[in-house]
Structure 1
Amino acid sequence: MQLWPYRSLPKRGFAGFVGGTAALIALPLLVMLGTPVMWVLLPFLAAAVAAIWWALARSYRDGEVLERLEISPERLRLTRRERGRPDRVWEANPFWVELHLHEGERPVPGYLTLRGAGREVELGAFLPEEERRAIAEELQRLLARSGRQ
């Protein structure tokens, strides 16, 4: 099973959004062409477009997360990959793993964790609550099939 954050704005849409924003911001400058007011406004409008570009690019970098869960009868392995960080790996015997779907607002609603081998790890914190609940049901079924009753 592989989990990653949802991207509502694809890369092509990213460039289109920033380009459209720049074009809309430039419209008022057309009226000011050739006046000293244009040179006063230009740095602020350019800074606004640069800030939008930076914020969206940062959002993309922060969202480059991949969680891979492998289940076999002998072992359960969760690997979390994030840009600029070493992989974090957690392994346990699936027979002893406990799956918890925490109710309430604990970091996120429907917080999903796996406990085993002396540690508790979160799973899919970046996903919507409905998807975490669906994953919990699927994992419960897979863990039962791997030898747990």
Structure 2
Amino acid sequence: MIEVVPSSWDGHGAQLRLRPPRALTRRQFVMLFVALSGAMWIVAMLGWWGGNAFAPAFALLHSAIVATALRVLWRSGERGEEIRIGPDAVEVITSGAGMVFRAHPYWVRLGIERGSERISLASSGRQVRVGDFLGPAERRALADTLQDLLAAASGRNR
């Protein structure tokens, strides 16, 4: 998901907030866990009733593994990137590492590799990839948006 917002009150520059797309809300994730664990517990109880004494233990283990997997999946959706483009600087800030890139917009090169599969910003020998968690269509839109914003910030669009 790409969100474009003006970065300052005077209208110079822009800020892009990138977040991975989520298919489910938090409530839907909980309901998915309940459905998967509930089905497993029904099968485990039928197995226990049929004579398998270890079925409830395996159901408990299965529930813990599903809960852990869904938690990790949910946490991976919380990452994000923020790209600030202004007349004085281009900054890339990630949710985990903080500011990872800063350069003057005139010297920043936009790299688009293999049909918008990889997008990078480079300056003075430093390079940072952006939008890796976005889908192909969103990466193409990001590349177009970055190209326009960098041209406007560096004065190359005149």
Select which of 89, 92, 98 maps to 1:75: 89
Deviation of 1:89 after TM superposition, in Å, equals: 2.8
- Map Cα deviations across residues 79-117 of structure 1 (whole Å, 9 max, x no partner): 1112xxx4133111111111011006xxxx610001113
Select which of 110, 113, 131 maps to 1:102: 113
What is the alpha-carbon distance in structure 2 between the residues aligned to residue 33 and residue 89 of structure 1? 54
What is the alpha-carbon distance in structure 1 between the residues aligned to residue 22 and residue 104 of structure 2? 33
Is 1:148 the counterpart of 2:135 in the alignment? no
Q: Which residue in 1 is equivalent to 2:119?
A: 112
* Superposition TM-score, scaled by structure 1 size: 0.85
What's the % identity of the aligned pairs?
30
Deviation of 1:24 after TM superposition, in Å, equals: 1.1
Deviation of 1:52 after TM superposition, in Å, equals: 0.8
Contact 2:45 2:55 (8 Å CA) reproduced:
no
Contact 2:37 2:63 (8 Å CA) reproduced:
yes
Gaps of at least 5 residues in structure 1 are: none
Number of residue equivalences: 141
- Map Cα deviations across residues 46-68 of structure 1 (whole Å, 9 max, x no partner): 11111111011112223321211
* Superposition TM-score, scaled by structure 2 size: 0.80
What is the alpha-carbon distance in structure 1 between the residues aligned to residue 46 and residue 89 of structure 2? 67
- Map Cα deviations across residues 14-64 of structure 1 (whole Å, 9 max, x no partner): 110111112111223444566652x31111111111111101111222332
Contact 2:19 2:79 (8 Å CA) reproduced:
yes
